[in-house]
Structure 1
Amino acid sequence: MAAKMCLPRALLRGSVAVSSIGELSIHACVGVIQNPSRGVLQGEVEWSCKLLLTECGIPARWPLTSSAVASQQVFHLRCRGTAMAGYCFANLREGELVHVVSKLVHKPRYVPVHGTYFTTTELLVTDSLGSIVSVAQLV
């Protein structure tokens, strides 16, 4: 059910962003909105929902792999601010399908107790307005 990005091989291989970062994978998938609600948190308007994502973490670069970091996972997603919360409340309803672009970022993290580095993987999602939300951190 995941909608993989179809980009030419040359573009994927020659991409400066992909080759210089190397620890970033981007993919697109379909999400389902569950339990949308709105409220106010510390004086700021907020809209939140549970977001069911299918097959999180399938990279959209060559070679394509069929392994997923998370499959059929439910994440809690929040949008804060009047503009974002208003847009989400007006346009996103229970059970609606949304297209989600997510990024898996692998960052080295130094742990002084062990004297070594560990990789922290962060799952970020973005929408057409460019709002980025961290939905999961995998260690």
Structure 2
Amino acid sequence: MVRIELTDRNLIDLCAATQLALGAHALAAPDNFMDVNFGPKLSHPGRVLAPPELTRWNGATMVTLGAMGLAARNGLTPEGKRRWFQTGGVASAACAALSAADTLRGRKRKSVGWTHAGALATIAGLKLWRGFKRNNSRVKAEI
């Protein structure tokens, strides 16, 4: 049996890891990142407006946010964690909505866009749940 425990720290680690992974991809290989998310330049005219430097800055921002999450996970007060989850949940929900909107408009590849939207919506839900719950209980599950 695999034992899964969702604590505040585990959720912060999960969120930081996803931001670090996406950011590292955009930072290290901006053209590949854009190809994966939006398709080749020839088939996506909007890609001309997003040079590799802009994609790298986006990646640097995501890596910074992930690193800040890892740095803050042990030093936050209980009220600080609640605020971190609340604001992070709203921001993740906005990113999920943006990914869904881009996918619906045909600006983002459907397979990647819907996957990102679903993953970000799940993370947003978990963050908001942890940010607005009353007690500091842990959720445990055995699979």
| TM-score category (smaller protein) | under 0.3
Greater relative contact order (CA < 8 Å, ≥ 6 in sequence): 2
Higher helix content, 1 or 2: 2
Higher strand content, 1 or 2: 1
